[in-house]
Amino acid sequence: MEGKNDKDFIATLRDHGLQVTYQRLAIYQALYNTKEHPSAEVIYQHVKKRFPMISLGTVYKTLERFYEVGLIEKVSPITEVARYDANLGAHHHLVCLQCHSIQDADTPIIDQKIVPQEKSGFQVLRQQVILQGYCPECRRNIEASRAPK
Amino acid sequence: MEGKNDKDFIATLRDHGLQVTYQRLAIYQALYNTKEHPSAEVIYQHVKKRFPMISLGTVYKTLERFYEVGLIEKVSPITEVARYDANLGAHHHLVCLQCHSIQDADTPIIDQKIVPQEKSGFQVLRQQVILQGYCPECRRNIEASRAPK
DNA sequence: TTAATTGCAAAGGTTTTGCCGCCGC
DNA sequence: GCGGCGGCAAAACCTTTGCAATTAA
C-alpha cells in the first residue's frame, strides 16, 4: 500500500509549480486514492462531501491545470471532438498535442501477446495505440519560438 | 493508388447492410479519400460543397451508423467525457464498451522499439494503449441475455 | 407500400469563459 | 501587495433527439 500524507501531497503540488489550496489538495487526494478513473463530475461529487462550497468549474479548471503540469493523466478525449477514419487496417495514430492533427503511424502493429487475453476476465475486442507528441510543423514552430535568434 | 468507383462504394455500403443514399455515398467517399481523420464538422463542410442541402445532423447520424456497422473507425473519444488518473506510471487501459468503466491493465508496457522515434519528423512524447472490450460484469450480463435458458 | 433516412430545430450535457472577491506566498 | 485561484453564472460547443416529409427498396 502506498501512503502519502498531507505533507507529501503539498510537496507534490509545489514540485509541479502549483500554488497550494485546500481545493487542490482535496481534488488531488481524491484522484490519488482511487483506481476508478473518475470524471470531473464524479470527483466534484466526491470532494463536495467534505467541501460543500466547492464549485464544479473549479474542479474542471484544476484538473486541466494538473494535466498541464504533468501531475495527472487524462484518459479519454485524446482530441477535443470525435474524429473518423475510413482506414480499417490496424494501425497506430500519431496525435499532435499542438494542432490536433492525426496521422497514421506506419510502424508495425503490436504483438498480440501484450493483450491480456482472458486476464482478469476482461474480454478484449480491439486495441489502439495512441502516440502523442508534436507533428513536424508544430515542432519547428515550437523550437523556433524557444530559441529566437 | 487505390481506386474505388461509385459502384464499389455502393457495394461496400450494401455489404454492411446499409441503405444507399446520396448523402451516405458522399460522406463515405469524403472520408475514404482523405488521410486527415476529419471531424463530423469538417466532413460536413466538405460534403456541403456538392450537396448544399445536407444537414450537420445527418452527418453525425451517418458517421455513427457507419461506425456501428464497422465501416469506419472512430479515433478519439474512447469514452463520453474526460476521465482522469493520478497513476502516472506507464500502463494500458481497459475500457468497457458497455458500462464505460476503465481499469488499468497490468500487462507489460510496449517495447520502445515500436515507437517511431524520429520517423517522419514526429516527436513522440507519450504513448498509451487503449484496449476496448467488455469488463467481467458486463460480459456476464451480455452472455446471460444472449443465451436465456 | 413500408420502413428507413433526411432536414431542421430544439434540447441535452460537458467544458470553457469572464469577472470579481479572496487567498496563498 | 500581487498574482494566482475559487465561486458563480453565462456562454460556447459538440452531439443527440423528435418529428414531419421524403426516399430507397
Write out pLDDT tens, residues B28-73. 999 999 989 999 999 999 999 999 999 999 999 999 999 999 999 8
Instruction: Render the burial of A76-111: b for 16+ CB within 10 Å, e for the rest.
Output: bbbbeebbbbbeeeebbbbbbbeebbbbebebeebe
Strands A102-105 and A92-96: antiparallel
B35 interfacial to chain A (CB closer than 8 Å):
yes
pLDDT in tens, B82-106: 788 888 777 888 888 888 888 888 7
Nearest-Cα distance to chain B for A17, in Å, is 17
Chain A's closest residue to B30, CA to CA, is A86
Q: Does the C-beta of B57 come within 7 A of strand C?
A: yes
Look at residue A126 and tell me whether its pLDDT is greater than 90: no
B44 interfacial to chain A (CB closer than 8 Å):
no
Which residues 63-122 of chain B have a CB under 7 Å from nucleic chain C? 65, 80-82
Nearest-Cα distance to chain A for B121, in Å, is 5
CATH class of the structural domain B6-146:
mainly alpha
Bases of strand C lying below 7 A from some protein CB = 4-10, 13-18, 23-25
B13 interfacial to chain A (CB closer than 8 Å):
no
Cβ–Cβ below 8 Å for A66 and B84? yes
Sign of CA dihedral B61, B63, B67, B69: positive
Bigger pLDDT: A45 or A91?
A45
Q: How many CB pairs under 8 A join A and B?
A: 246
Whether A28 and A12 have beta carbons less than 8 Å apart is answered as yes
Whether B73 and A89 have beta carbons less than 8 Å apart is answered as no
Bigger pLDDT: A54 or A148?
A54
Q: Which set of grid coordinates corresponds to residue A85? A: 477514419
- SS3 of chain B: CCCCCHHHHHHHHHHCCCCCCHHHHHHHHHHHCCCCCCEHHHHHHHHHHHCCCCCHHHHHHHHHHHHHCCCCEECCCCCCCCEEECCCCCCEEEEECCCCCEEEECCCCCCHHHCCCCHHHCEEEEEEEEEEEECHHHHHHHHHHHCCC
Share of chain A above pLDDT 70, in %: 83
At A135, which amino acid appears?
C
Q: Which set of grid coordinates corresponds to residue B93? A: 487501459
Provide the residue ranges of all domains of chain B, joining segments of one domain with +: 6-146
Kindly state the DSSP code that residue A39 receives in the 8-state scheme: B
